[in-house]
Amino acid sequence: MRLARTPLSSPLRLVGAATAVVGLTLLTACGEPGSAGGNSTDDGTDVAATCEPIAGDEIVVLDDDQHLQTVDNIIPAVNADAAEQHPELIGLLDQVSAALDTDTLIELNRSVDIDRETSENVAAEFVASAGIEVEEVADAGSVTIGAADFAESATLGNIYAEVLEAAGYEVEVTTIGNREAYLPALEKGEQVQVVPEYVGTLTEFINHDVNGPDAEPVASSDLDATVEGLRGLAEEVGLVVGEPSAAQDQNAFAVTTAFAEEHGVTTLSELAEACDGLILGAGPECTERPFCQPGLEETYGLTFSEFRSLDAGGPLTKEALKQGEITLGLVFSSDGSLSTE
């Protein structure tokens, strides 16, 4: 599961939205800033160097190769009655899942967030170029798709709409509020019948709703196991989910491409081997969240000389990376500003 986006109307991924608090907290002293390359102890054992931040215009996510984060793949969530009434509905939406991966999602978000195209136009262009073949459904009927109030969800909702309209459905895409507001409506199926969702976040939301706030987690870094758990939970509340896409929008940690190239790192494990004394930038709750600083330290053995309280995947963190003020920053893995090369 991931930290919440700043707009309170967007789906809550963990807790409330992070407030950007600009400041600097000294956590540990890991030596003086040094150059690239390792150091050695007296007995010749290689140790990681203290790596200074490197400014750059592009940022890139380092692979979470030891699976610290919970999966949050895009998945269609459908009202169970609507799925029964329209048995071809899930299969059509699954074709969208099959056409999406994270790099594609980044490009879609870049088109909307940076190039300022509309979600409707971006969705239409994607479906036209993705090779999705749709057979027309006789007496398809009408479907309302709910899209949360942020660009990625709107784009996904409009992609779903393009495919369903091609199959003969009469489709409306409507903006919905946060998950507390729209999930009951989806379960009832009266105002909205389809929503693009996130595997891990939806799993834990329903898990807490059904089994209480202290329920053992069902979502994990294992996609198959999490989807299996989600299917059972969804059935309890009157939902059906389709197949997950390869596209993920989850918590991720980024460096500048210049830093990655300088130190030859593509994964968090490689970063831990190459560097000590990193400067971490994220929302203020990062110092306590198990998927953030504590997880980076415990799972990867990363060490930090400083923590800078910025925002959760927002403009402050990304700008601090680009300006060379922090080494490693918490971002969202489908952010349109990320490099996909």
Pairwise pLDDT comparison (278 vs 16), residue with the higher score: 278
* CATH fold of the domain at 23-68+250-332: D-Maltodextrin-Binding Protein; domain 2 (3.40.190)
pLDDT of the residue at 40: 45
Q: Could you tell me which residues come within 8 angstroms of residue 16 by beta carbon, excluding any fewer than 6 positions away?
A: 4, 8
- Report the interhelical angle of 151-166 vs 119-129 (nearest 10°): 50
Q: Could you give the CA distance from residue 337 to residue 266 in angstroms, rounded to a whole number?
A: 17
pLDDT of the residue at 5: 40
Please state which CATH class domain 74-241 belongs to: alpha beta
Q: Could you tell me which residues come within 8 angstroms of residue 214 by beta carbon, excluding any fewer than 6 positions away?
A: none
Lookup: tokens for 187: 């379960």
Lookup: tokens for 254: 């980024």
Pairwise pLDDT comparison (140 vs 258), residue with the higher score: 258
pLDDT of the residue at 62: 98
Q: What does DSSP say about strands 251-256 and 328-332: parallel, antiparallel, or unpaired?
A: antiparallel
Q: How confident is the model at residue 163 (pLDDT cuts 50, 70, 90)?
A: very high
pLDDT of the residue at 32: 37
SS3 call for 336: coil
pTM for this model (two decimals): 0.85
Q: Would you list the domain boundaries of the chain?
A: 23-68+250-332, 74-241
At residue 43, what is the residue type?
D
Tell me the pLDDT tens digit for each residue of 205-233. 999 999 999 999 999 999 999 999 999 99
Phi/psi at 312 (nearest 5 deg)? -85, 95
